[in-house]
Amino acid sequence: MFLSHIYLIPLFPAVGAALMFFFGRKVQKSTVNGVCVGSVALAFLMSCGAVLQYLNWAPAHDHQPYQTILYTWLGSDTGHLTFVKADGTQAPFQADAGFLLDPLSSIWLLFVTGVGMLIHIYSTGYMAHEGGYYRFFGYLNLFMFSMLTLILANNYVLMFVGWEGVGLCSYLLIGFYFHRKSASDAANKAFIVNRIGDAGFILGMFFIAWYFGSLRYVDVNYLARSGHFQIGDPIITAATLLLFVGACGKSAQLPLYIWLPDAMEGPTPVSALIHAATMVTAGVYMVARSNALFVLAPTSMKTVAIVGALTAIFAASIGLVQNDIKRVLAYSTVSQLGYMFLALGVGAFSAAVFHVFTHAFFKALLFLGAGSVIHAMSGEQDMRNMGDLRRRIPITYWTMFIATLAITGIPPFAGFFSKDEILWQTWTSEGGAYRVLWFVGYITALMTAFYMFRLIYLTFSGRPRMSHDVEHHIHESPASMTMPLVLLAVCSLFAGFLGWPRSLGGSDRFASFLDPVFAREAHVLREEGKAGQLAAGEKEEEHTSSTEYLLMFLSVAAAGAGYLLAGRSYKNADKGYSEPIAAAPPIYNTLLNKYYVDEGYDYVFTGRRKVGDIRLGALGAGEASSWFDTHIIDGAVNAAGSITRGTATFSSWWDKWIIDGIGVNGPAILARMLSYPARLFEWGLVQWYALVMTAGLVGFAFYYVYH
Amino acid sequence: MLHITTLHYLVLGAALFLLGVIGVLTRRNVVIVLMSIELILNAVNLNLVAFSRYWQGIHGPGALHGQVFAIFVITDAAAEAAVGLGILIAFFRNKETVNVDEVNLLKW
């Protein structure tokens, strides 16, 4: 029942959003809460039902994905719309409004609806005093609709619809405080940077359609696994690289990550839902969804792994010195997404998905906790002006502390299992060719621990550094905000147990759940790795569990080291505390200014900054387009304006003097002049009229009588 | 004893008619103007009835045309009074006066 109606899951929030946009202005806040939280709760329950049903259905059907196709959305079954494939044959172009459920989409479905529901509840508290309440919830519901479409689509085209939908909602919600210039700039930045990625996605789709003749996952996967295609096929490499460009845009990887830190201009629940837990993992989902293609393109896999690792360490290093609590978390998100791509790139697909899953809980929790802190601090986001909040907002403190333990990888919190799995898989994959990347990931883990504990210490410990007014108003958030915090903290504590590794006596249920999606590809990759090793004349290496224990111990040691380092510097932070990295000013300034990447982009691409007198823009395109804009576009606009104005002046003169003067007033004046004599007879006294009439009658009578 | 002829009726009718016309022409109060119109109408009625009686003398007692006419005129007078007073009330509500020389809204 649930399974055959999975299309209803995105439909519930869509109805909620439509109701908000049409009637939201007129209804009470309680109605808004009921409709919007209710629609997401329904979607969550429906998702749980559908996944449970799928688990019963799948064993009897060879663990195939479950598909339900509503109708053919683009093209037709009869093949009116055809194109020539790469091999010269005709193929019908077709995209369904079809929905697909398999273990991969199940996981996304559950955490998106679950975390989404908690964040909706949190928002009822956080946004209670904000204007545009119904608009906010309408956007949130529209986002849920788009995200669920993205997850449940059975082909790349429908996925792209959801992909663009979440981009639009991201734009709308980042710019929610649109009267603030910084917010609307950040919204534009996010939208435009994402367009670059989307162009890659579209081109990738074209390549896939051209090469495979279909955009349905099942068809593409079937063909990719059929063995007709060589490993390293250049077209597949191009297609996957282009898809990865799309993923870079949506999931904020180098070099397109720049929009995500600025996206923090949006309300905090939005940062938690869209820019931490769900939307930014869409790129990971897309790459994981295309795993059958990626394993055929080792170059793409290497690119994904290297970009992921570089993003992880790059963003983490910026996070070390940021002072805005939300920016630290934003860079942390970019860094964690880097981990996920590192895992995808080394072929550890299920580890990447596992990290997405645990990250959704603890990062949403961190953001919601940060929102609760900002709420308590009357809108202050700068950690330099916080401190000593531990006893005043204890629930926020403890839940955020649990999330910090989870993200830094302290066992047995969720992050430990997922992050350790990624590092272990990086160490062992491709016969160890990626050990450099393991080291990068390891240093990133150390940095993560440092900046997260720095955040905790600066916010909750040390001396209070806020003004007296602010200090006076500090209060714990309402239950609608703390309840999601507590639930997410519970998830951050226990979600990791699903992937308890075999080496620690567990059964890694998470990975085996995903086996139907990934097992084949993992096998292919293992064979490749072995072949590479043998070709290089190495002995096949046995990965013993003692190595795994050693790596685990090292990770925990890194987390502990980060904790101790942060504690030494910030534990007793008072006004004017010193940053340890500031001891090396060049490094500190580079990090504080985010490696000057935004400035660099302004020089090279946007042309907002000049080198001397020359505006480079995109290799001169900035200058040219600026000239074109000021002279041709603006000129055309001004010319149109002047012509309109001239026409209007003439038209006004014509109306005043010709139409009104000759046409309307002329006859009136004429009639007035001509009527003057007639007017003399009409003086308005009824009795005079009667007298004249009587006199006339008498006159006539005399005339006839005496004539 | 004086015998009352048709002429007597006609003289009375003419006197009443004249009285009515003078009233219509000279009085400012619309109510009195309306009453004067009633006088004129009744002067006419008197003439009609007088001629009807004269006619009976020539054509026999069945010749009652003039009297029937008079009844029509009375009906008409009642209708006219009702409409006239209605207009008057509407007018008074607007201008708070019933003086006929102040009824000059249509004057150019």
Residue A260's alpha-carbon distances to A150, A169, A279, in angstroms, are 20, 14, 11
pLDDT for A660 beyond 70: yes
Task: Note the residue count of chain B.
Answer: 108
Tokens 């429906």 belong to A46
Question: A 687-706 residues with CB below 8 A of B?
Answer: 687, 690-691, 694
A166: CB partners within 8 A, 6+ apart: A143, A146, A147, A150, A250, A274, A279, A282
Percent of chain A topping pLDDT 90: 43
Give tens-digit pLDDT for A308-339.
999 999 999 999 999 999 999 999 999 999 99
Residues of B in contact with A683 (CB under 8 A): 107
Report chain A's terminal Cα–Cα distance, integer Å: 113
Residues of A in contact with B23 (CB under 8 A): none
- Residues in B whose CB is inside 8 Å of some CB of A read 21, 24-26, 33, 100-101, 103-104, 106-108
Residues of B in contact with A684 (CB under 8 A): 104, 106-107
Name the pLDDT band for A63 (thresholds 50, 70, 90): confident
Helix residue spans in A175-267 (DSSP H): 181-212, 217-225, 234-250, 259-262
Cα separation, A258 vs A255, in Å, equals: 7
* Mean of all residue pLDDT scores within chain B: 89
Range of A75-84, A167-176, A421-430 with top mean pLDDT? A167-176
Res A340: pLDDT? 94
Q: Best interface-test mutation with B: which of A687, A692, A693, A697 has the largest number of B CBs within 10 A?
A: A687
Range of A58-67, A374-383, A637-646 with top mean pLDDT? A637-646
* Mean of all residue pLDDT scores within chain A: 87
Res A680: pLDDT? 76
Q: Chain A: residue nearest B102 by CA?
A: A685
Q: Best interface-test mutation with A: which of B19, B25, B32 has the largest number of A CBs within 10 A?
A: B25
A433: CB partners within 8 A, 6+ apart: A529, A532
Q: Are the Cβ atoms of A682 and B108 closer than 8 angstroms?
A: yes
Res B35: pLDDT? 93
A424-440 mean pLDDT: 80
A636-659 mean pLDDT: 93
Phi, psi of A70 (to 5 degrees): -75, -55
Report chain B's terminal Cα–Cα distance, integer Å: 60
pTM, two decimals, is 0.74
Q: Are the Cβ atoms of A685 and B101 closer than 8 angstroms?
A: yes
Question: A 623-682 residues with CB below 8 A of B?
Answer: 679, 682
Res A476: pLDDT? 87
* Burial class, A46, CB count within 10 angstroms (exposed 0-12 / middle 13-18 / buried 19+): buried
ipTM, interface predicted TM-score of the complex: 0.80
Cα separation, B38 vs B35, in Å, equals: 5
Q: How far is A703 from chain B (nearest CA, A)?
A: 19
Q: How far is A690 from chain B (nearest CA, A)?
A: 7
Q: In this predicted model, which residue has the larger pLDDT, A92 or A334?
A: A334
Q: How far is B106 from chain A (nearest CA, A)?
A: 7
Nearest CA to A370 out of A267, A283, A285, A519 is that of: A267
pLDDT for A641 beyond 50: yes
A678-685 mean pLDDT: 74
Res A331: pLDDT? 94
Q: Chain A: residue nearest B28 by CA?
A: A687
Give tens-digit pLDDT for A237-274.
999 999 999 999 999 998 899 999 999 988 999 999 98
B16-35 mean pLDDT: 91
Res A377: pLDDT? 87
Q: How far is B7 from chain A (nearest CA, A)?
A: 19
| Residue A407 and residue A444 in contact, taking contact as beta carbons nearer than 8 Å | no
pLDDT for A511 beyond 90: no
Name the pLDDT band for A645 (thresholds 50, 70, 90): very high
State the amino acid at position A384 in one-letter form: R
Residues of A in contact with B24 (CB under 8 A): 687, 690
Name the pLDDT band for A540 (thresholds 50, 70, 90): very low
Name the pLDDT band for A543 (thresholds 50, 70, 90): low
Name the pLDDT band for B81 (thresholds 50, 70, 90): very high
pLDDT for A480 beyond 70: yes
Question: A 392-421 residues with CB below 8 A of B?
Answer: none
Res A536: pLDDT? 54
Q: Are the Cβ atoms of B101 and A683 closer than 8 angstroms?
A: no
pLDDT for A583 beyond 60: yes
A393-410 mean pLDDT: 92
* Burial class, A177, CB count within 10 angstroms (exposed 0-12 / middle 13-18 / buried 19+): middle
Give tens-digit pLDDT for A216-234.
999 898 888 888 888 888 9
Name the pLDDT band for A15 (thresholds 50, 70, 90): very high
A446-462 mean pLDDT: 91
pLDDT for A49 beyond 60: yes
A48: number of Cβ within 10 Å: 16
Cα separation, A169 vs A151, in Å, equals: 16
Q: How far is A707 from chain B (nearest CA, A)?
A: 23
